[in-house]
Structure 1
Amino acid sequence: MIYEKINISEVNSNLKDSKAFINAYIPDNSEEIDIKKKRKTIIICPGGGYSMTSDREAEPVALRFISEGFNVIVLRYSVAPNKFPDALLELAATMNYVRKMSEIWNVDKDKIIVSGFSAGGHLAGSLGVLWDREFISETLKVNKMDIKPNAMILSYPVITSGEFSHRGSFDCLLGEDASEEEREKLSLEKLVSKDTPQTFLWHTFDDGTVPVQNSLKFATSLKENDVPFELHIYPTGVHGLSLCGETSARKDKVNHINPHVGTWFKLAVQWLENI
């Protein structure tokens, strides 16, 4: 397996001041199996309220996806005091870079998926709804189609800036003094279009940090725009469950062990079979 840590400033020279980086996990192909195999690639955006990026939603998730045969990239994006659009530009640059590395990393360029947790779900979803905006392609000097995700997996995502907002995420993303109008411009359910990628979403009904209405609102907008999606609402479970098992549980947090909710991963992999 290839493992590399790459600074975003090396991924795209137009982000030379970025301190963000990616961790790339690229399984080797085998003569015995298929030396020319092209793999689906997952780009993971860990959560952390745009104030940090969680270890629990990074390498443990990467290793599970690798075990299912995917290439995996974990993006450790810029957080507060950095503001929008820094993290979004870093994710877009990562998407473009993965496509550029298709021959070296055996990437299927038409099957690159962004996966985000909590605020990382907001970041992943932001690329899904904003990938065709001029300010991104012009800043990075890239082709718009090279930064479009082919699909998204959003896990208990921050979506709305309205009534059910996780205000802390928007405070870190835009600054505490940002106006409601500025926040509304990044309320993702209002930005969905027919060009938004197909999406897999999951949430828990009683999430006390990021209300379940975030996923419901996004799913409703996808339906209104005829964008295919799969949505799973589990009856109970705390926020930030990640893989819902010991490999990703916070120390001494027994409520992070939730085998029923943990079925989301198998369901997501099954859903990806048709991407």
Structure 2
Amino acid sequence: MKIKLMLLLLLMVNGIFAQDTIMPLWPKDKIPNHVKSSEREIHEQNEILRISKVQVPTIEVYLPSKRDATGEAVLIFPGGGYGILAYDWEGTDIAKFLNSKGIAGIVLKYRLPSDVSQTDKKFVPLIDAQRAVKLVRSKAEQFNVKTNKIGIIGFSAGGHLASTLGTHFDEKVYKDVDDIDEESARPDFMALGYPVISFGPHTHSGSKTNLIGEEAPSELSDYFSNEKQVTKLTPPTFLLHATDDTVVPVENSLLFYKAVKNKGVSATMHIYPKGGHGFGLGLHDEHLKDWGEGMIDWIISLR
């Protein structure tokens, strides 16, 4: 009986600590642009964990041991066309890889545009992304990271969100809700994996439609065409893409690389001849499997 009680207590303690790794982005009942509705979050597991209809955005924090910690943190934005989040494939798997290199990996479960549970849905993912950087910065001591070493990585539509944050980090898209919002939302560095960048001719139509609609005016398309929004303050950028990507054309990365280069922003780009779209860590591909190591080398070069 004592053994059973001890095992039960151990499971309860482990559960408590596991829950401590997940933090809400916003205070209760203060989520910007949120409307109470019957919409509910959906989790579907079929090889990849797909999350949709996010109502309460969170960060899930993966920390390396203090002995291994480099002081860097990377916020991770999973892709999914602004319709779902490929939460493990382009989220928690990336966080665990970063942990193996001494880097804190923090997965953002951001809200996806919704006509049911949101007002002005086109800004909602950016609102959550800005808040996530501010939240991590405010928790830097708790997470054992440095406030000037907080980067982001996004994949596919998550890459669009990351590049939107990297070019619109200083824009007021929501009213401050607490002291956390006094922190800077600027990432210190930015990695973009097969990203949607442009809402022009080379766009991914699903991501564009989900975020701003099919009949969006040209001014709005330009606002979210992030190659047109680069400034000298855009963070140093790492780009990753495959030439044979038929979902998000490689021109997206090429356009962004040219834009940051023209503004004098430090950038590096890895273009592979094959790999398609959505390859994640690419561990089963001899040509792609080392891209993560290349990114780590790039992060080290920024120190």
Q: Structure 1 residue runs of 4+, over 6 Å off? A: none
Q: 1:177 to 1:16 in 2, by over 3 A?
A: closer
In 1, the alpha carbon distance for the partners of 2:166 and 2:173 equals: 15
SS in 1 for 2:62: strand
Following superposition, the deviation at residue 262 of structure 1 comes to 2.1
In 1, the alpha carbon distance for the partners of 2:93 and 2:279 equals: 12
Aligned to 2:131: 93
Pick from 23, 37, 59 the counterpart of residue 6 of structure 1.
Answer: 23
Aligned to 2:13: none
Matched, 1:272 2:289: no
In 2, the alpha carbon distance for the partners of 1:214 and 1:166 equals: 9
Pick from 227, 241, 260 the counterpart of residue 203 of structure 1.
Answer: 241
Aligned to 1:23: 60
Aligned to 2:102: 69
In 2, the alpha carbon distance for the partners of 1:268 and 1:260 equals: 15
8 A contact 2:243–2:276 mirrored in 1: no
Aligned to 1:51: 83
In 1, the alpha carbon distance for the partners of 2:273 and 2:33 equals: 45
Tell me which amino acid in the other structure corresponds to 1:128. G
SS in 2 for 1:58: helix
Tell me which amino acid in the other structure corresponds to 2:255. K
Matched, 1:121 2:159: yes
Aligned to 1:165: 203
Identify which of structures 1 and 2 has the higher relative contact order when contacts are C-alpha pairs closer than 8 Å and 6+ apart.
1
Higher Cα Rg, which structure: 2
In 1, the alpha carbon distance for the partners of 2:139 and 2:21 equals: 13
8 A contact 1:89–1:140 mirrored in 2: no
Aligned to 1:104: 142
8 A contact 1:10–1:16 mirrored in 2: no
Tell me which amino acid in the other structure corresponds to 1:6. M
SS in 2 for 1:62: helix
SS in 1 for 2:184: helix
8 A contact 1:159–1:214 mirrored in 2: yes
List gaps (5 residues or longer) in structure 1.
246-256
Matched, 1:175 2:207: no
Following superposition, the deviation at residue 38 of structure 1 comes to 5.9
Aligned to 2:3: none
TM-score, length basis structure 1: 0.87
In 1, the alpha carbon distance for the partners of 2:201 and 2:158 equals: 20
RMSD over aligned Cα, in angstroms? 2.1
In 2, the alpha carbon distance for the partners of 1:38 and 1:263 equals: 20
8 A contact 1:26–1:72 mirrored in 2: yes
| 1:179-219 alpha-carbon deviations (Å, 9 max, x no partner) | 33322211000000001000000100110000000000000
Tell me which amino acid in the other structure corresponds to 1:60. D
In 2, the alpha carbon distance for the partners of 1:9 and 1:15 equals: 8
In 1, the alpha carbon distance for the partners of 2:263 and 2:155 equals: 23
Following superposition, the deviation at residue 242 of structure 1 comes to 0.5
8 A contact 1:205–1:234 mirrored in 2: yes
Following superposition, the deviation at residue 8 of structure 1 comes to 2.0
Identity of aligned residues (%): 34
Aligned to 1:261: 288
Tell me which amino acid in the other structure corresponds to 1:9. W
Q: How many residues align?
A: 257
| 1:55-87 alpha-carbon deviations (Å, 9 max, x no partner) | 311111111011110111100111132522111
In 2, the alpha carbon distance for the partners of 1:225 and 1:181 equals: 22
Matched, 1:226 2:264: yes
Following superposition, the deviation at residue 178 of structure 1 comes to 2.1
8 A contact 2:64–2:100 mirrored in 1: no
List gaps (5 residues or longer) in structure 2.
1-16, 35-54
Q: 1:5 to 1:203 in 2, by over 3 A?
A: same
